[in-house]
């Protein structure tokens, strides 16, 4: 694995406000196209920040708000491809859907920005999508190197759920390592979560680290630390590493192998360093909260970051209520297969 990494030293990065900027080794200027994409991504982030000020719970980075109804339900195991039609497919309206708020929790290194297609599709049918930036992610101004625990990392999600009215529930979606984030809050706010959806996520068992889920493909923590040249040392080289940042081509191969060039370009200029503390921490879960919660799993069948075999193993060892599969999807179906992901979210939302 070590031979595939491109060396990245701490001095190659500087943190400016909420942004992390990589300096090329030769300090050369960005090509014109990359500079334009970078500016567009920062513009999107600024727009998100401005929008977040207009809604309750500024820490939630909530994007959009409408109301509606829809239809069609199935709890059986499903496999979907992604025929992207130009016409809008709006399901039949349902009058009695109790939970319309969908809270979208990104994976490590991502941010609320990654859900932009899902947000638009959910709003079209009248659901209320809420996208969150966890600490040190997206436009949150925290330094990823300063985030050492899962509790710190998920503070925005905890605050959002804590501030919900007592009688209100949400549909909670966690992507990749966001699976550990939603597992964490299931322990503390089980009554506020109607269903938890793990999107190619780290559906960990009690006492397991989120990193353990990736260990079969990345190797042990010890070997990963020894071989990895992507680690960042926020407290100095003589101290344990505090975060890691994948090189652009690695991101493309692991996360975006089925995505469009435009989405890859947006992602590679928007990703932030991944705090190591939260993904190396053991998660504690109890039978009365996490185990008894309504969990669903969405598998991605062309995933290079979390292989279909590993996802299948997670489902076998910790069985959820329902399992869905997306054909042709990489680790980021919100980019590569947004319509298929959307249809599955609607189906799960409508399961009684």
Helix, strand or coil for residue 325? strand
Active site residue 303: yes
Question: Which residue range is the domain that position 135 belongs to?
Answer: 57-82+89-350
CA distances from residue 113 to 110, 242, 269, 272, 319 in whole angstroms, order as listed: 8, 24, 11, 12, 30
Active site residue 304: no
Q: Please indicate whether residue 66 or residue 271 has the higher confidence score (pLDDT).
A: 271
Residues in Cβ contact with 133 at an 8 Å cutoff, skipping those fewer than 6 apart? 61, 106, 111, 112, 139, 140, 156
If one counts the domains in the chain, the total is: 1
Active site residue 43: no
Kindly state whether residue 311 falls inside one of the protein's structural domains: yes
User: What are the tens digits of pLDDT across the range 187-203?
Assistant: 999 999 999 999 999 99
* DSSP letter string, 238-306: TS---EE---HHHHHHHT-TTS-HHHHHHHHTT--PEEHHHHTSPBP--IIIIITS-EEEEEETT-SSS
pTM (predicted TM-score): 0.76
**Catalytic residue of the set 82, 133, 140, 303:** 303
Kindly state whether residue 94 falls inside one of the protein's structural domains: yes
How many other CB atoms are there within 10 angstroms of residue 232's CB atom?
A: 21
Kindly state whether residue 6 falls inside one of the protein's structural domains: no
Q: Please indicate whether residue 53 or residue 91 has the higher confidence score (pLDDT).
A: 91
Kindly state whether residue 284 falls inside one of the protein's structural domains: yes
User: What are the tens digits of pLDDT across the range 4-27?
Assistant: 322 333 323 322 333 333 333 333
**Catalytic residue of the set 52, 176, 181, 307:** 176
Kindly state whether residue 10 falls inside one of the protein's structural domains: no
Kindly state whether residue 17 falls inside one of the protein's structural domains: no
> In the prediction, which pLDDT does 301 show?
97
**Catalytic residue of the set 38, 106, 175, 331:** 331
Phi, psi of 199 (to 5 degrees): -95, 105
Kindly state whether residue 253 falls inside one of the protein's structural domains: yes
Kindly state whether residue 236 falls inside one of the protein's structural domains: yes
Query: CATH number of the domain that 119 lies in?
Result: 3.40.50.1820
């Amino acid at each position: 694995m070590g031979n595939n990494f491109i060396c990245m030293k701490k001095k190659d990065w500087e943190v400016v406000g909420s942004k992390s900027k990589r300096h090329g080794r030769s300090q050369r200027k960005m090509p014109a196209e990359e500079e334009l994409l970078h500016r567009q991504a920062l513009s999107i982030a600024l727009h998100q920040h401005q929008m977040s000020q207009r809604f309750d719970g500024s820490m939630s980075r909530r994007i959009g708000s409408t109301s509606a109804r829809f239809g069609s339900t199935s709890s059986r195991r499903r496999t979907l491809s992604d025929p992207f039609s130009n016409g809008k497919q709006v399901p039949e309206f349902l009058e009695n859907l109790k939970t319309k708020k969908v809270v979208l929790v990104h994976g490590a290194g991502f941010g609320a920005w990654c859900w932009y297609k899902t947000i638009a599709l959910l709003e079209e049918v009248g659901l209320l999508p809420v996208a969150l930036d966890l600490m040190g992610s997206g436009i949150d101004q925290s330094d990823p190197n300063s985030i050492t625990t899962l509790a710190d990392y998920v503070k925005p999600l905890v605050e959002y759920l804590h501030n919900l009215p007592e009688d209100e529930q949400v549909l909670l979606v966690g992507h990749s390592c966001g699976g550990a984030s939603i597992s964490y809050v299931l322990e503390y706010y089980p009554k506020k979560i109607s269903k938890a959806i793990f999107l190619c996520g780290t559906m960990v068992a009690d006492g397991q680290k989120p990193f353990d889920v990736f260990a079969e493909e990345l190797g042990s923590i010890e070997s990963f630390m020894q071989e990895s040249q992507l680690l960042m040392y926020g407290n100095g080289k003589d101290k344990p590493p505090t975060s890691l940042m994948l090189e652009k081509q690695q991101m493309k191969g692991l996360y975006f192998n089925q995505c469009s060039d435009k989405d890859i370009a947006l992602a590679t200029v928007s990703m932030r360093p991944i705090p190591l503390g939260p993904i190396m921490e053991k998660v504690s879960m109890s039978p009365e909260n996490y185990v008894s919660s309504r969990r669903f799993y969405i598998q991605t069948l062309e995933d290079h970051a979390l292989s279909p075999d590993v996802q299948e193993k997670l489902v076998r060892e910790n069985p959820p209520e329902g399992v869905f599969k997306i054909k042709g999807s990489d680790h980021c179906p919100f980019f590569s297969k947004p319509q298929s992901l959307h249809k599955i979210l609607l189906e799960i939302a409508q399961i009684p």
